[in-house]
Structure formats: structure tokens, C-alpha cells
Structure 1
Amino acid sequence: MLKENRNTITILGEEIPLGASREINFNIAKLHTATKIEIPIIIERSKTPGPTILFSAGIHGDEINGVDIVRQLIARRINRPKRGTIICMPILNIFGFLSSKRAFPDGRDLNRVFPGSSNGSLASRVAHRLMHEIIPDVDLIIDFHTGGASRFNAAQIRIVRNQPELNDLARIFGAPFVLYSNHIGKSFRNACFQLGKPILLYEGGKSFFVDDNISKVGVEGVKRILAHYDMLHHRIKANPPKLPTVFIEESKWIRAKQSGMFKSIVKVNTKVKVDDVLGQITDPYGKVYHEVKTTLDGYVINVNEASLVYQGDALFHITKVVSD
């Protein structure tokens, strides 16, 4: 159960009462020119008490599809709650976003330094402030990610096993797939979980790319979560998902058996059977033609969209055992 009795919350040292709207700048560092680098945090509080939900994205600077989802929540005023509080952080890694890179300037992956340290690296210091000055007053986090470069993920929620509350929230969100995924050490998800903060991780699309459908699934999922907590404003409607969510118990990568020019002939969300042809690998000289086939029944939840691949490259992520 999420808390509902906070008349005042404190974000980065600033007390925010019920009914207030705030945009607070998270000052994370200065450039060599002494120019401040700040992350805007948009906070909307209803006059009626309720849960506090954080929507975050851009923990990796190249994952802009998640940034677009949180942007839409703000632009469409979905972040103005009927009750409770909504906090939006569209870009956690502003350095990577500006430079079109995944990591921080110190070379560290922000999502591998949590809970951070006040005396550590730049990335570690940002993680520490996030965990100590923002997360304490938050009841639920939904963090938006994408697939890696050229690897297009189907819209999916990632959670750990044996957590009934997360199972229920994932079903309410209504993404096409829920993938059980263990926590990674020093990740944001793991750090929040260790504090007893429920967190849903949304994956969809690929790096450096905004896909309208992936954004739509994310926005609609948020609306359903807000409606579940009676936080969605009455002028905004939450639509039920078109299909039931598939919970993925196990999955497997289909890898390239040889190097060459690669072309996929299936898309994410496709249901396949053993020996179905998924794509083809050829060479520039017309001498090689290799069909990539699935070795199991299931759904395609990730497709490598690279034109050139090497032997051993992951091409397709296929669910192995599913339960609706």
C-alpha cells in the first residue's frame, strides 16, 4: 500500500505543500567554464493527499524514447494529479543526453553506481543525491528505458519474481509483455528496491530513436497506473489494453551463426514456432545465403536492426515459456 498522509514533501531541501506546483533545478555539476549543469524536476501536488509517484527517464543519455514518454506526461498535463503527487524527471543523465552518449563524462554508467557516494565519482555523487534528496518521499517509481543500439525492444515491463505487488502493478500498466529480470548490482532499480520502494522498469524501442507506438504504450500504461490510485484527472481517460499482458517466465537469444549482411523479416510482438524463418544473412558477393530460424516457440521481444552482424551477435530475443 502506498502512503497517503504527506501534507508536505521535501525535494532537494525545498518543502512543497499540498496544492503546489514546482520546477526545481537539480544542480549536479559545473562545466570547465563554470556553467551550471542542472536537471529540471517538475513536481505537481494536488490539494488532496495521496501517493507520490516518480516518473524518470534518460538514466542513459542515448535512451531518448523514455524521455519522450515523460515529456508527453508533462505536455499533455497527465502529470497534474487528481490527488497525491507526481514528480517527473525526463532526463537523469543530462551529460549523456547532450553529447549523445550512454555514460557520464567520467566514463561511468550512472545505472551501475547506485546508491552512490557523496565523495565518489561525478556519476556516484549524482546517484547519492537522487537517493537521499528525492527518493525518500517517493512511494512508487516508474523508470523508462530503451533497448541498446540497433536492438529494438518490444514494449515490456521488467520486475523481479515473487513480488505480488509488482505483478499486480505490471498487469495494471498493461504493456504487451512482462519480463522477470533479476536486479543488477548498483542499479537504480536495485537501490530503490532495497529501500522498499516499488519500481517498474519499462523497456521499449532502441537507443537514439523515438518510436510513436512505444511512447503510446508507455503513456497509456502511466494513465492506467494513475487511474488505479485514483490520481488521474477526470478530464483524462485511461483505456484498457487491447490484449492481455504476457508474463515471460524464460527467454532465449537467437545468435548469428556466421558474419555477414543481416536482414530481419519479422517484427517484435510476432508469435513464432520452431523452424520459422526470422531473417537472413548474406555476403556482398552473392555466395552466402543463410536463413536464421527460431529453435523454440514463443514471441519475438527484441530484434537486432543492424545491417551488418558478426558471428555470435544476438539477433532475436524469443520468449521460451509464457503464461498469460
Structure 2
Amino acid sequence: MPRESFGIGNVRIRVGTSRSLELPITRLVTGADVSLPVRVFHGREDGPTVWLDAAIHGDEVVGVEVIRQVLAGLDPKELRGTLIAVPIVNVLGFMTGDRYLPDRRDLNRSFPGSARGSLASRIAHLFMQEVVAKCEVGIDLHTGSDRRSNLPQIRADLDDPRTRSLAEAFAAPVMLHARIRDGSLRHAARERGATVLLYEAGENLRFDGYAIDAGVAGVRRVLASLGMVDGPAEPDHEPSVECRSSGWVRARRTGILDLDARLGQRVTDGERLGALVDSFGRTLRLVHANRDGIVIGRTEAPLVNSGDAIVHIAT
């Protein structure tokens, strides 16, 4: 029996085709409509329904390029199952390069949302109803926040067998067992029965090539592991390093940061990672690792205040 067409919003997508559409969000004071851009690939053969999303934080642009490249390599006539891609969730923040919405709310703390709530809550509700509710697996793409860069990594519940299997298939350099935050997309989607991987890589407002390449390869490997696309016969990647906890090294003085620690570097407790200096180059304080592990994040800010997060180490 042939597959049925796929319904989303007020449209239906025929099997073996792809279609771009817009889901209405709100109207600006100018009268212009704001919509959520969506593209659906509806394969000819049965398979899982999966979503990809990026830019829940409007300044996190790496995932937008990851999704563009993944979709460029897909043929709906050969796809098994259905893929829903939402490259820009926080449309208003994305247009201004802002992490948050105009009301200063964090969209990734507003799920599952409400049809009658704040703007953030309404966007979250729309995403849950039109995307998450139709899917069994999702990949949520992020970058480091303001002036921080992240090593490509998957954050997920590694104690859940299905989630762990998909995290291993993604094969980012690191997979980190991460607690679920209330109000996040990952938390709300899991409550609906979906399996969610959160990908972190690169810096905000930048197209970091290493983050894009690892993201594209990882998404393709997950789709292959789900049987949606054909994958390589033999693994072409190193397995992820599993980490169970992480913590930040923080500045002990205010100063100019001379940081030697690199993303992906293995460090030992007490190892020198850099120094805080004054404007004449005089050393104010050395920066040392506070645990054994691997560097999964670092600040890119040259000026730091006492207490600022400098280096993120996963154990």
C-alpha cells in the first residue's frame, strides 16, 4: 500500500517530493507577517519521521548552514521516511543577530509553550504542535553562547539506550551525559516521547568550518543509522569520547586573557592553560585546569572579569 501524503500546517506533501512552507507566527507593527520557515522531505518508502532545527537562539548560525548542506544532499525520491527541517526557529532574533526574542525571553526555556502565552511561548507551542508531535527523533543544533566556542559535541541522556545509540551514530568528538533543563526543547520533546540529540559546536555569529563539517557528517550518519538514507559500508570516523560530567575553570583575577588551551585538548588537573596579564604584559594570575579531562569549550573574549568562565573541561 503506497504511503499517504504528509500534512503540516494547511498543506500536504506528496510522497517522493519536498516542499518549503511557512507557519504563521505573528504580525509586526508594520503589518508584515512573521512565519516559521519549514522544508519537508517526504520519502516514497516508509521510515521514521525526524526533525532538524537550528537557531532557537537567534545568534547561533552554525546549525543553519548544517541543515542547508544536509538538505542539499537529499533526494526525496530515495529517502525512506520523512524529514522536517526548521533552520531558523527564532526568526526575530535571527534577523537582528540576537540570542533572545524581542521580549528578552529565551525561547529554549519556553517549551512546551502555550497558544495564548508570550511570543516565545507561542512559537514554542507552534513548534511542538506542528513539528515535534509528528516526529520520533529530533536533532537540535546549537553553538556556544556570547564569545564562547565549543568543541563539536552531542549532549544527551546517555543512560537511555536509544538516545545513546543515536549519539554514538552521530560520532561527534565528544558525547556528554547532560541533565535536561526545564523549559528546553529537549525536555518538552522527551515528555512527548521523542528521542532528542543536542549538538553543540562553534561560536555564535560565525560559520566555523570545523563545527559545520562535523555537524553535517554527524546528521548524515544518524539518518543512515535510522535507515532513512544509505550510509558508508564501513565506519569512517573515530568513536566519540564519552564524558559524564563537566565544569568551567573561572578567572581568579580581572585582566587580559592569554589562553593556550585548545578545543579538544586533553588536560590534567593543575595543568597550566594560560595566564591573565595587564596591559603591559605583567602576569597577574596563571590559569590552571581544575580537573582531568578534555577541553570542550573556551571563551574567545580577550578581556575577562574575576569569576568569568574561561575553559570548559569534560571528564
Aligned to 2:103: 106
Shift of 1:239: 7.3
Aligned to 1:269: 264
> For 1:124-273, what aligned pairs fall within 5 Å after superposition?
124-232=121-229, 240-273=235-268
Shift of 1:252: 2.0
Q: 1:296 aligns with which of 291, 294, 313?
A: 291
Aligned to 2:115: 118
Contact 1:227 1:238 in 2 (8 A): no
**Distance in 1 of aligned mates of 2:152 and 2:125:** 29
Aligned to 2:82: 85
Shift of 1:77: 3.4
Aligned to 2:34: 37
Corresponding position: 1:62 with 2:59:
yes
**Distance in 1 of aligned mates of 2:111 and 2:288:** 39
Q: 2:314 aligns with which of 292, 315, 319?
A: 319
1:108 aligned counterpart, secondary structure: coil
Contact 1:24 1:40 in 2 (8 A): yes
Query: Residue deviations 1:216-235, cap 9 Å, x none?
Result: 111001111111122225xx
* Aligned residue identity for 2:255: G
Q: 1:51 aligns with which of 48, 52, 67?
A: 48
Shift of 1:78: 6.9
Among all aligned residue pairs of Structure 1 and Structure 2, give the percentage whose two residues are the same amino acid: 38
1:192 aligned counterpart, secondary structure: helix
Q: CA RMSD in A?
A: 1.9
Shift of 1:31: 1.3
**Distance in 2 of aligned mates of 1:150 and 1:29:** 30
Q: 1:26 aligns with which of 23, 28, 34?
A: 23
List gaps (5 residues or longer) in structure 1: none
**Distance in 2 of aligned mates of 1:11 and 1:309:** 47
1:10 aligned counterpart, secondary structure: strand
* Aligned residue identity for 1:86: L
* Aligned residue identity for 1:308: L
Query: Residue deviations 1:159-214, cap 9 Å, x none?
Result: 12421110111001100111111111111111100000111000011111111111
- The verdict on how the C-alpha distance between 1:239 and 1:97 changes in structure 2, with shifts beyond 3 A counting, is farther
Contact 1:139 1:198 in 2 (8 A): yes
2:47 aligned counterpart, secondary structure: coil
Shift of 1:155: 0.5
1:15 aligned counterpart, secondary structure: strand
2:116 aligned counterpart, secondary structure: coil
Shift of 1:135: 1.8
1:253 aligned counterpart, secondary structure: strand
Count of residue pairs brought into register by the alignment: 314
Contact 1:6 1:50 in 2 (8 A): no
Contact 1:44 1:81 in 2 (8 A): no
Contact 1:13 1:133 in 2 (8 A): no
Shift of 1:286: 3.8
Shift of 1:241: 4.8
* Aligned residue identity for 1:314: A
**Distance in 2 of aligned mates of 1:136 and 1:10:** 12
**Distance in 2 of aligned mates of 1:97 and 1:250:** 31
**Distance in 1 of aligned mates of 2:17 and 2:79:** 13
**Distance in 2 of aligned mates of 1:297 and 1:121:** 43
**Distance in 2 of aligned mates of 1:23 and 1:319:** 39
- The verdict on how the C-alpha distance between 1:230 and 1:160 changes in structure 2, with shifts beyond 3 A counting, is closer
Contact 1:7 1:49 in 2 (8 A): no
TM-score, normalised via structure 1 length: 0.91
Query: Residue deviations 1:110-142, cap 9 Å, x none?
Result: 111111111111111111111112222112100
Contact 1:272 1:300 in 2 (8 A): yes
Shift of 1:14: 2.5
